[in-house]
Each structure stands twice: as structure tokens, then as C-alpha cells.
Amino acid sequence: MLFVLVGTPAWAQNSSKPVSLELYPTFYALGARLAYTGDVNANATAHLEWRVQGTATWKQGVAMTRITNSRWAGSVFWLKPDSPYEVRAVIDDPDGGGSVMGAQRTRKGLPATPSSRVWWVATTGNDANAGTKSAPFATLQGAAGRVQPGDEIRLKPGIYYQTLDTPVAGTAAAPIHLTADAPGVRIDGSDPAYLHRTDWRSDGGGIYSVAYTPTANRVVCADSLQRLYKQLSLAALQTNANAMTQGFAIEGGRLSVKLEDGSSPNGHTMHVARYNVGLLIDQSYWHVSGLELRHFGTTSASGASAIQLASGHGSWIANNYLHTFGGRGVFIRLGSYDNLVEGNTVRDFRVGVWPWDATKSHDEEITGISNRGGRGNVIRANAVNGTFDGLDANVGDA
């Protein structure tokens, strides 16, 4: 980081003395934090000026905001990616101010296409195969165990009842790509054992049940899109608690459901989540695109989500379709920074029309995209519909 200090004479502690300027880049903006001393009487203001590096004219930027620990904060907007800029932070203080200048280049995007090998995955494959197009792997994890920076995992259309935990990182110059070969690639968190069961028992009142070992779940739905409301007990399901006339409950080793039309689940495809997280991105520089993820989320303990950026940086989550999940569609956790989430469609087909009182502070209080991560995460051009919250950014830097 380059900075040049240009100070005016200090008149005791009421004058302001700029100490250092920190610049943090995204694609179209630079964040600025200016540390200072003095200004005990707090009568100073500060603003930013900027220019393309190598040009003579400074452009007026925004006023800065005073934050904690004797710092001013602000941003420079409407810049171009991968371009060099100079920024000057100016403290205007009647008692004596000053300025400091720094230089920073904005971020550039990841390479759009893989630069090395392609590993193929298909629902009809086998992890003992070579991973070629004609002899694909069967699982995402099997392919991920082979990738190196610059490689691509390409999925053939089909429904994958799987999860993925990234075992290796890419690099800025050679990210790892996880992409769909064609439309129709669906990564599904539900348990295939419950999809087409015919042993749902009628318990009266439109309620049907089946033996069920887990004690918690957040996602049960019929025919992929008919999400059922989670009642806290069988009695609540029987009495339509919270003004909900459909739903599910787990009690006494059984999963009880009540569909919207009162029909038997034996005639429906029942999706019962078995995985809490779909794609766990805990390595840097992964590019995930073109996938549909659905029916993930069993508990809140470890951050139920379709895609979770748990750590690392420089990943790109783009043009995916996420729906019918528990917790969050995309979850950027603390420790994950400088990621890009763009062009995704995130939606739920029931939560948005249910009573607010029934979903607030309940398992159905789901979020489309949640940024609890570090600095530099960019969330842009996504469409979120039907979730309780669209964008959550109440912790960390957004």
C-alpha cells in the first residue's frame, strides 16, 4: 500500500493529523479507512478525492463517516475493474487538517473458462472410472478428490442426491470450476428412501406418518415444491397451530405430515432432507455455476444452507438456481472474504405467502443470501423471491 502524508501545522490536540490510509478493492469500488489523531473537539469533516493513476485531475468523492478507533470511512464508486487508481483522503478541520494519499488497483474477475483437465460426473457413472466423458465418476466428491488448480468438474444432467466438501484450493490464475454440462443438473439434499414410499399410515384428520429415526429436520415437502410447515409437536399439527392447515412434525420415532389437499403422501413424491449443507466451499478459488440445488437444511447448528462459503476467498458463485431449503440459500460465513455471488436465482414457493407470525423466529425464517463474512464480498444481480429475508448482512462487513 502506497501512501504520502501531507500535513498542516497541528494546533494542540484539536487539530487533526492523518496517520494512514487503507484502501480495499472490489470490482467497481474502493473502500477507504483513514486513521487520524487529534480532533478532540470533534469539529472536523473528511472527504475523498480520486483519479485514475497517471492522470492530473482529482475528482470529488463522497463525504467520509467517522467510525470507531479514531478513523474515518468511505468509498469511491463507479470505477472500472482491474484498473489503477489513486485516492486522497482529506480532513477539513478549522483547527488544522491534512490529507493522505494511497494507490490501489481494483479487482479483476476470475478466468471464465478452465485452463486444464475436465473431470466428468454422471448419475450413471462409477467412482472407479477414469472420470472421462465416456467413463464418468458417480459422485461430486469422487471428482473433487482428483482436481488440481485450473481443473473443471463437469456434471451431466440428472439428480444427484449428494453433497460436496471441497478438498483442495484453486488459485487466482487457475480456479477450480464446478459446472453443469447442460440444463437439468440438480443437486438434491433429500433422502431417496422417502421419495416414493407406499407405507405412509393414516392417523386421521388428514395426517399420515411413517417411521423416522432422525429427531430434527427443517425441510419436508411434497412433489419438490410443496413445502410443509414445521410444527413443534404432533398436537400442534393436529390442531393447525399458528393458523397453518398443513405441515409436518417429528415425534415418537415417526414423521407425520399433512398435505395441503389432505391427500395421502403415498401418491406423492416426498422430499425429506437428509443433508444440512449442499456445497461446502471451505477452500479458495472455486467457480460454481449452472447448478440447481434444493432440499438442503436439517438443523441450524452448523448453518443449514444450499451453498456455504465457510472459509477461503476468491470464489465465484454464479448463475445457480437455489430453492426449497432450510436456513440460507447462499451463506458466506465469518472467515470467508473477497468472494463474488452474482446472477443466482433464489426462491421459496411457500414461505413468502405464509403468515408472518407463523414464520418469524421459526425454522421458516429463511434467508436468500446471507453475508456474515469478512471484507470484499460482492453480492450483485441476484434474484431472490419468496424467502423470509432476501439479503442478510447484519454481521461483518458487507
The string of DSSP codes covering 249-264 is EEETTEEEEE-TT---
Q: Nearest-5° angle of CA 90, CA 2, CA 98?
A: 20
Position 348 scores a pLDDT of 96
Q: Can you tell me the distance from the alpha carbon of 95 to that of 355, in angstroms, rounded to the nearest whole number?
A: 57
* pLDDT surpasses 90 at 371: yes
pTM of the model: 0.91
The whole-number pLDDT of residue 300 equals 77
Three-state DSSP class for residue 55: coil
Structure confidence at residue 115 (pLDDT)? 77
Which helix (H) or strand (E) segment holds residue 238: the answer is helix 234-238
pLDDT mean over 213-229? 94
Euclidean distance between CA atoms 96 and 92, whole angstroms: 7
For the segment 111-131, the average pLDDT, to the nearest whole number, is 92
User: What is the rounded average pLDDT of the residues 168-183?
Assistant: 96
**Can you tell me whether residue 241 is helix, strand or coil?**
helix
Share above pLDDT 70 across residues of the chain, in percent, rounded to a whole number: 95
Grid coordinates representing 311 are: 472459509
Task: Please state, in angstroms and rounded to a whole number, the distance separating the CA atoms of residues 155 and 163.
Answer: 13
Check pLDDT > 70 for residue 4: no
pLDDT recorded at residue 5: 52
How far apart are alpha carbons 128 and 352 in whole angstroms?
Answer: 44
Rg (CA), the chain: 26
Let me know: does 359 contact 230? Beta carbons within 8 Å. Answer: no
Q: For the purposes of burial, counting CB atoms within 10 Å of the CB of 36, is it exposed (0-12), middle (13-18) or buried (19 or more)?
A: buried
Q: 344 and 332 in contact (C-beta within 8 Å)?
A: no
Handedness of CA 245, 247, 249, 255 (dihedral sign): positive
Percent above pLDDT 90 for the chain: 89
- Give the pLDDT of residue 10: 43
The rounded distance, in Å, linking the Cα atoms of 161 and 167 is: 19
Element (H, E) at 143: helix 140-144
Looking at residue 66, what is its pLDDT? 97
> How many whole angstroms from its chain centre is CA 233?
31
Band (393; pLDDT cuts 50, 70, 90)? confident
**pLDDT for the residue numbered 12:** 53
Dist CA 333 CA 388 (whole Å):
19
What is the pLDDT averaged over residues 295-320?
Answer: 92
The pLDDT of residue 8 is above 80: no
pLDDT-based confidence at 302, cuts 50/70/90? low
Chain mean pLDDT for the chain: 94
Give mean pLDDT, residues 204-222. Answer: 96
> pLDDT grade, residue 398 (50/70/90)?
very low
- At 116, is the pLDDT very low, low, confident or very high (cuts 50, 70, 90)? confident
Give the confidence band of 154 by pLDDT, cuts at 50, 70, 90: very high
Average pLDDT (86-109) is: 96
pLDDT digit string (tens) for 127-136? 999 999 999 9
DSSP structural state of residue 151: -
Give the pLDDT mean for 244-252: 97
SS3 at position 91: strand
Give the helix/strand (H/E) hosting 357. helix 356-359
Q: Mean pLDDT, to the nearest integer, of 217-225?
A: 95
For the chain, what's the residue count?
Answer: 398
pLDDT of residue 111: 72
Is 2:81 a contact under the CB 8 Å cutoff? no
Q: Judge whether 209 and 254 are in contact, CB under 8 Å.
A: yes
Burial class (CB in 10 A: 0-12, 13-18, 19+), 127: middle
Nearby residues of 319 by Cβ (< 8 Å), 6 or more positions away: 289, 290, 342, 343, 344
Q: How far is CA 90 from CA 10, 47, 55, 242, in A?
A: 15, 5, 19, 56
* Amino acid identity, position 189: G
pLDDT at 15: 95
C-alpha to C-alpha distance for 207 and 234, rounded to whole angstroms: 10
Q: What is the DSSP letter of 187?
A: E
How far apart, in whole angstroms, are the C-alpha atoms of residue 80 and residue 28? 5
Residue range 25-34: mean pLDDT, rounded: 97
Task: State the greatest distance between any 2 C-alpha atoms of the chain, in Å, as a whole number.
Answer: 85
pLDDT tens digits for range 323-363: 999 999 999 999 999 999 999 999 999 999 999 999 999 99
Compute the distance between CA of residue 83 and CA of residue 105 in angstroms, rounded to an integer: 5
Distance CA 95, CA 97 (A): 7
Q: Answer whether residue 285 shows pLDDT above 90.
A: yes
Q: How far apart are CA 123 and CA 155, in angstroms?
A: 9
